[in-house]
Chain A
Amino acid sequence: MSAHDPHAGPRPVASWGVRRFTPSWRWLAEAMWWVEHAFGRAHADARPEEDTRVRIFVILSVFSAAFVCLTLGAVHAALLTAGAGGGGSSHPNAVVRADLVDRNGALLATNIVHYGLYIDPAQVWDRPAAAAQIRRALPRVSKTRLEAALYGDRRLLVVNRLTPREKVAIHNLALGGVSFEPEDVRVQPLGESARHVIGNVDTGGVGLSAAERAFNDEIRAAGARGENFQLSIDLRVQGVLENELAAAAEATQAKGAVGIITDVQTGEVLGMASWPASNSRNLAAAATYEMGSVFKTFTVAAAIDTGRADMNTLLDASEALQIGSRRITDFHAQNKVMTLEEVYLHSSNIGTSLLATQMGPRVMRDYFGRFGLLDEAPFEFPSENPITPRDWSDSTLASLSFGYGVSVTPLQVAAAMASLTNGGRYIPLTLRKGGLPNAPVRQVVTPETSRVMLDLLRRNVVRGSGGRAEAPGLRVGGKTGSANKSVNGRYSTAHAVGTFAAVFPADGPVNARRYQILVLIDEPQTYPRTGGFVAAPAVGRIADRIAGFLGVARRADPYRTALGDRIPAFEDLEGDGR
């Protein structure tokens, strides 16, 4: 072995020191040494050409492998992961909050890009002129904010929520230093119409009240999918309700008014109005009233449903009813023995008090509970809790039977009336189009009772106190309610609530399409103040105007012709409208 023998050359390990390296490092060092000395080794072996070939081959292989990897990677990226590039995962029409539309797609609330107006004072030439021009183009801008921005030392927000039109007006002034930044704003193009149903949204896009709050998550999810969110409201019905309610409230110089229209078979709210609309409080949910005689409907229904009475049961209303020290009289005393039907049509307090005391507290409480009159109405908005009686004595039962001693929200009465006219099923009201999925439905009365009550309600419009609610050919049935309000602990005849709770059409099978209209007039100032005069005419006009939208055809029934002419066998018992 010579000193030039590459196979026996000095190993690097010897010079670097064995002890300093772990075995893996030692292997690497040896490999590098072997590569570095490959040329010399090949020469020593007298095979120089082989050495070159080996090197070329090795480099070729390495590069080929690298390029094959790159090629595979490129092919994979180009062909197999289609759709990842370009477009983006969100929907092209996605918005933060979906447009709120009515059941037919009419717009209720939408997002519009508004603009914030910013001014950079360093770029403004003539500040007084700029201030004057901006104030002329945009009168609502605050003078102090504008001057603070113009004479400040940095770019400042002057006013936000500029509408696109206002933006153009400012932009056309061609002022230096004025710039705009887009901001997404929720707008309610209907103004005060349906405001109690739609509700408000904060600047961060979170619903604060009414439907915007109740369906907040679903509205945002629908917005991300680029879809609209539909409510059960029908804007045409809502519009008629609002206009007629406002007309009735103004005609009676009332303090407030409520109107609710629902589909009794699905629980969908088609219209809900609270007057005055400028009041942000929704009286349909956030106010309770003693409803008066409307409750006679529920008392009579309970009596019929328990089998205690039928239409021909006789009740002695010939003299006032004495319960303890309390004397119950009738508003229009008939002073005779009456059938149950007459009790209802004459709206006799004595008759319903007799029924209630006969049924007793357990039955009355059971039925009123099932009608949902004793608990907060299940609904998408939070609503006021009813004021229910503390004791269930005979005197209380008598009061309850004609709608005193219990204060309920109009929503509760609307749901209870619906349950009485749809075959006896209590369906929670909802603003969701198509009704609540998996709604907890409970049977309140039997379908037979429901059928009897529908006929009784209709007779009350034809022959009883609800005559002014008649709409030609639409078979309106309903019950008036007139209550005095308790002022400072005493019932005041000067403060009244007039109500009319109606359904139409009242004929046909119990599961036929049917709509419930409730109109409540709070503190009417015109005389007479009874529900039959202040609320019933509005109900008639509303039914007349919305029937076409709802597809209810005018038809004759046993009491009236399709054009509303009387069939002589049936005449008004009296026209007092109580």
Chain B
Amino acid sequence: MSPALAAVNRLYAWKIRGVRWIEIIGVLLVAAMVFSVYLAKAAAARESARISDLERQISDNGQRVRLLRAEVARLERPNRLEALSRGAGLGPVDVHRQATAESLPDLAPIPEPRPVIVAPTPAQPSAPAVEVER
């Protein structure tokens, strides 16, 4: 029997109260694995519940967004806007009152910087010579 095989045999024969250590270790490992699988499954179930909850929220919000977009489109429909703005006295701007950014200097020349007038500092008023009579 080779030394390696002998070592394996010895390990196999290592017992406590007639129970092989290797079996005890195996059972403990299996128990640890079962427990960890349980934990992982429970966590996954919790996550997937959360995911489906979020997905439901997303879909609900999506529906609300669609509804609000439709409402915006309804309120912004061109004939309504036109009627409202005509009612408010608005209309297309006359061409003579339109200008581009480039034409602004022609319309309103940039004013010359006005000379800074330095206000003359008033003379320190002397204390009124008021005689306080008693």
Q: Which residues of A contact B (CB under 8 A)?
A: 86, 92-93, 99, 106-108, 110-113, 164, 187, 189-193, 235-236, 238-240, 242-243, 246, 472-473, 541, 544-545, 553-554, 563-564
Contacts and interface: CB of A to CB of B under 8 A. Distances in A.
Contacts of B126: none
A113 B59 CA distance: 12
A112 B73 CA distance: 13
16 contacts: A86-B51, A93-B62, A107-B70, A110-B73, A111-B66, A113-B63, A164-B67, A187-B70, A190-B78, A191-B77, A193-B79, A235-B78, A239-B78, A239-B81, A242-B79, A472-B95
Given A108-B73, A190-B77, A563-B96, 4 more contacts: A112-B70, A189-B74, A240-B78, A541-B92
A108 B72 CA distance: 11
Contacts of B70: 107, 110, 112, 187, 189
A239 B92 contact: no
A416 to B, nearest CB: 28
Contact of A189 (B55, B71, B96): B71
A157 B77 CA distance: 33
Interface in B26-58: 48, 51, 55, 58
B15 interface: no
A246 B80 CA distance: 13
B77 A236 contact: no
A189 B77 contact: yes
Interface in B62-106: 62-63, 66-67, 69-74, 76-79, 81-82, 92, 95-96, 98, 100
Contacts of B55: 92
A239 B95 contact: no
A107 B78 contact: no
Nearest to A564: B95
Nearest to B92: A545
Contacts of A191: 74, 77, 79
A242 B79 CA distance: 8
Interface of B: 48, 51, 55, 58-59, 62-63, 66-67, 69-74, 76-79, 81-82, 92, 95-96, 98, 100
B81 to A, nearest CB: 7
A543 to B, nearest CB: 11
A123 B79 CA distance: 46
B79 A107 contact: no
A565 B76 CA distance: 35
Contacts of B81: 239
B58 A92 contact: yes
Contacts of B72: 107
B95 A193 contact: no
Contact of B78 (A86, A187, A236, A541): A236
B52 to A, nearest CB: 10
Contacts of A246: 79
Contacts of B71: 189
Contacts of A192: 79
A interface SS class: mixed
A243 B95 contact: no
A565 to B, nearest CB: 10
A241 B4 CA distance: 95
A504 to B, nearest CB: 14
- Which of B51, B55, B95: most chain A Cβ within 10 A? B95
A239 B74 contact: no
A541 B93 CA distance: 11
A36 B73 CA distance: 84
Nearest to A544: B92
Contacts of A99: 66
Contacts of A106: 73, 76
Nearest to A563: B95
Contacts of B62: 93
A189 B79 contact: no
A423 to B, nearest CB: 29
Contacts of B69: 107, 110
Contacts of A553: 100
A554 B95 CA distance: 9
B80 to A, nearest CB: 8
Nearest to B58: A92
Nearest to A247: B82
Given A92-B58, A554-B95, A238 B78 contact: yes
Contacts of B48: 86
A289 to B, nearest CB: 25
Contact of A473 (B77, B82, B95): B95
B77 A110 contact: no
- Which of A239, A246, A473: most chain B Cβ within 10 A? A239
A473 B95 CA distance: 9
Contact of A243 (B51, B82, B100): B82
A180 B57 CA distance: 20
Contacts of B79: 191-193, 239, 242-243, 246
Contacts of B66: 99, 110-112
Contacts of A564: 95
Contacts of B74: 189-191
Contacts of B67: 112, 164
A111 B63 CA distance: 9
- Which of B58, B73, B82, B100: most chain A Cβ within 10 A? B73
Contact of A193 (B59, B77, B96): B77
Contact of B73 (A190, A240, A541, A545): A190
Contacts of A86: 48, 51
A505 to B, nearest CB: 15
A86 B69 CA distance: 30
Nearest to A548: B98
A327 B3 CA distance: 129
A240 B79 CA distance: 9
Contacts of A107: 69-70, 72-73
Contacts of A164: 67
Contacts of A187: 70
A109 to B, nearest CB: 9
A385 B6 CA distance: 101
Nearest to A108: B73
B110 to A, nearest CB: 23
Contacts of B96: 563
B91 to A, nearest CB: 10
